[in-house]
Every structure is written in structure tokens, then in C-alpha cells.
Amino acid sequence: MSDKKNLLPSDKKRDRIIKFKAKTNPNYGKSPNERSVKEILENGVINIDKPQGPTSHQVDSWIKKILGIEKVGHGGTLDPNATGILPIAIGDAAKVLQVLLTADKEYIGITKLHGDVDKKKIFEVCKSFVGAITQRPPVRSAVKRVNRKRKVYYFDVLQIKDRDVLFRVGCESGTYVRTICVDIGKRLKVGAHLAELRRTMVGHLQEKDSVKLQDLKDAYTFWKEDSVEKEIRSIIFPLEKFLNHLPKIVIRDSAVDALCHGASLAVPGVVEIDSDIKKSNLVAVLTLKGEGVALVKTHMSTEEIIQKDSGVCASLERVLMNKGTYPSIWKKS
């Protein structure tokens, strides 16, 4: 089995560029790490390791019962037989799930060939699926069955045993690995199907950091009955964790409430920005304390935002912070 060498586009490292030095008022807002367990339970996220068998919606239902809450949602549905990362949002954090629907994914699976094929040929055909591919969603899918293009960033054959091919694939969101396996079988002229599948990465969420439902139940019980916070804090995180794969723009305190009321982001409100942001990128806007304010679509690149002193640099896509968390200085001005 080969070592992992490939990276998803979301793994790209970015530099943080400071446009202006600014301070934040400690009387408003709160660093995500300073939120209480009660606050996180009202607006938190979990990286669940989904077991084989239940549907993603059944997992939601179980978590509702474990935590005694009404609002639970998941990002990126896994088939009942598939296992691995299932991002869960609880309470008001459901608003960040949309960013994971577009996040790159990684899977490890087994393709079962329906006939004997030379190993060299298997490697060649699997490698040919790297790049832009066209595929039609399988019959049992929740989307319209029309041809669509997707990107496969890497497809590594890890091991071949008889007719079983163990593989690792990194791909764009919305790629059907089951369909890739069928298409590989067609190209090999023997037929094939997906026998097992495990999701190992969603954006920056990794398999090694995922937790089982029993771990969640135990941690919640320890906190509820004995006021032990360590375990539950290592399982349920502030909603900002689901924003880790996105580029960031940090804004001054005086610009926060304007975005919360639906305003576009103007250049004077920006104090820090990540490198390599392009026009039309989906970007997370943060406070100087690291709180998620909103998701925006950029109208300017990093270079333009750094160079300009005025103008609208991004339009609002989704508000993440409650109105009134920061003072309405913009209304006074």
C-alpha cells in the first residue's frame, strides 16, 4: 500500500495579509473558544464517523435524542452502506452546512471487478480518470440524471487482490464514486461495481478527528451529570470549524453589524485578508476575535482589496451571526 502524497485543492495553505492594524472591543462578541458548552450546544458542529447501516437522516435523529435538541442537520449525505465522515450541525449552526456541500471530498473504497484483468491495465485505466470527467448520476440518486462534469484530483490504486481493487480518490463535490467504479469496469471490458466505500475527508475535516455516536453520548452524559467539559469540548466545536477550508476576510468591529443586517462588504471594513482570493470566490468573513460573521461572494481579488480604499469588494451570501452582537455604529454614521 502506497503512502498518501496527493492533496485536495482545499488543503492549499494561504498567507494572511494585514491591510490595517485594528483592535477589537472586548465588550462585544466572544472568541469561539471562549463559548460555554451551553452556547456550543445551541450553535455547534460535530465530525461524526457514520457507521454502516443507518441512513444519514437516522444519524440526525439519534443525535437529537442523545443531546435532547430539536434542530440537527448533516452536510453531504452518505448512503446507508457507506461509512466515514458525516458533518453534523446542531442548533443554529445549520446555516454553515451549505459550505460543506461544495467542499472537496476524499474516499477510500473497493471496486470489485467482474472478470480477471492484468494489473498493469487496471493501473492505467484508473489513472485515466484523473482530471475532468463527465458522468451521469446513478438511478438511485436525489438529483436529475443528466450528464455533468466533475474533477477528480487523484485516483490511487492502493492494492489489488484477485478481483478486488482498493483505491483512494480525491474529487470535487458532487462526484459519484459508484459511477466511476462502473465506468472503470466498462473501460476494462469486464464490468465492475463499488463494493465498499468510506469517506475520509470533507474539506479540512479528517477521518482521524471523527468520533463515533457512542463517544458523543458518553461525553454528553459526563457533562450533564458530572459537569465534565473536556470530552464534550473535544467532540462538539464552534461552527467556525466548518469554515476552515474557506479563504477568510477579517473585518473591523464597526463593519460587523452592517453585514448582519444584509449589507455588502465595503473595502474600508477589511483589516485582514487571505492570499490568493479571486473574484467570485466564496469567502468566510470573520471578526477580529475569529467569529464567523457571514459568507460572501467576492467582487475583487486579494490584490485589488489591498490596493483600493473604497468600493464594494463582496456581496452577501449568508449571514452567520445574530444581529446586535456588535453595536450598530454604521447606522450612526
Q: Is 178 left (phi over 0), alpha (psi -120 to 50) or beta?
A: alpha
Report, at the CATH architecture level, how domain 242-332 is classified. Roll (2.30)
Q: What cell does 42 get?
A: 445551541
- Active-site residue 15, yes or no? no
Active-site position among 3, 11, 15, 79: 79
Domains 105-200 and 242-332 share a fold: no
C-alpha to C-alpha distance for 94 and 185, rounded to whole angstroms: 39
Percent of residues, the chain, with pLDDT higher than 70: 95
Residues whose CB falls within 8 Å of the CB of residue 270, separated by 6 or more in sequence, listed in order:
19, 20, 249, 250, 251, 252, 305, 313
CA 265 – CA 294 distance, rounded (Å): 10
CB 271 within 8 A of CB 19: yes
pTM (predicted TM-score)? 0.91
Tell me: pLDDT of 241 over 90. Answer: yes
Q: 10 Å Cβ neighbour count for 307?
A: 11
Sequence ranges of the domains in the chain: 34-101+206-240, 105-200, 242-332
pLDDT digits (tens, 9 = 90+) for 108-149: 999 999 999 999 999 999 999 999 999 987 766 666 778 889
Cα angle, residue 175 at apex, residues 77 and 151 outer, rounded to 5°: 145
What's the CATH number for 34-101+206-240?
Answer: 3.30.2350.10
pLDDT in tens, 276-324: 999 999 999 999 999 999 999 999 999 999 999 999 999 999 999 999 9
- Asked whether the beta carbons of 19 and 273 are under 8 A apart, the reply is yes
User: Residues 215, 235: contact at Cβ < 8 Å?
Assistant: yes
Structure confidence at residue 101 (pLDDT): 82
pLDDT category, 212, cuts 50, 70, 90? very high
CATH number given to 105-200 = 3.30.70.3190
